C-alpha cells in the first residue's frame, strides 16, 4: 500500500465526515428560529427535486432514455408502488428499451 494514498483516503474521509457530523452535535434540534426550522423542513423535498433534475434526463446521451426512465418511475410511484417496485420497473423498462433500440 502506498502511504500517500492512505493519507489521501484518511483526509477524504475526515473532510466528508465532519460536515455530516457537525449539525448533529452542534444543534439539539428545535432550538433554531421558527422560520429557519421551516426552511430546514423544506430541505428534503427541495433536495430531491435537485437530485432528480436534470440528472435523470442525462444518464445517457440519448435523452429518450432518461425521459422513459423518469416516466416509468413517476408513473409507478404515482400509482402508489413501493420504492423498490419503482426502482425495478424503471430498470426493466430501460432494459427493454435498449434491447430494442
Partner 1 sequence: MERQSSDFKRGVQAGISIAIGYFPIALTFGLLAKTTGLSIIETVMMSMIVFAGASQYISLTLLTLGTGTFEIILTTFIVNIRHFLMSASLNEKVEEDRPLFKALYAFGITDETFSVAATKEGTVSTGYIFGVCSVSYASWVVNSGIGHLVGASLPETLQESMTVALYAMFVGLLVPSMKKSTKAIYLAGVAAVFNTIFTFAELLSTGWAIVLATILSALIIEAVESFKTRKAKGGKPLED
Nearest approach in angstroms of CB 4 to partner 1 is: 6
Question: Using the rule CB under 8 A, which residue among 22, 63, 64, 67 binds partner 1?
Answer: 22
Per the CB < 8 A criterion, the answer to whether 77 and 90 are in contact is: no
Residue nearer to partner 1 on the CB measure, 21 or 63: 21
CA angle 28, 20, 22 (to 5 degrees): 40
Regarding 64 and contact with partner 1 (CB under 8 A), the answer is no
Task: For residue 17, state whether it binds partner 1 (rule: CB under 8 A).
Answer: yes
DSSP H or E run through 63: helix 63-78
Q: How far is the CB of 95 from partner 1 (least distance, A)?
A: 4
Q: Does position 67 bind partner 1 by CB under 8 A?
A: no
Site of grid cell 428545535? 30
- Find the Cα–Cα–Cα–Cα dihedral 41, 45, 46, 50, rounded to 10°: 150
CB of 7 to partner 1, least distance (A): 6
Residue with cell 452535535: 25
Under rule CB under 8 A, residue 8 binds partner 1: yes
Amino acid at each position: 500500500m502506498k502511504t500517500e494514498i492512505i493519507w489521501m483516503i484518511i483526509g477524504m474521509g475526515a473532510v466528508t465526515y465532519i460536515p455530516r457530523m457537525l449539525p448533529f452535535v452542534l444543534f439539539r434540534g428545535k432550538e433554531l428560529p421558527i422560520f429557519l426550522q421551516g426552511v430546514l423542513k423544506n430541505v428534503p423535498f427541495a433536495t430531491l427535486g435537485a437530485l432528480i433534475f436534470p440528472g435523470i434526463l442525462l444518464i445517457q446521451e440519448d435523452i429518450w432514455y432518461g425521459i422513459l426512465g423518469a416516466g416509468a418511475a413517476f408513473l409507478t410511484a404515482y400509482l402508489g408502488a413501493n420504492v423498490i417496485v419503482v426502482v425495478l420497473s424503471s430498470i426493466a423498462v430501460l432494459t427493454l428499451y435498449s434491447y430494442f433500440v
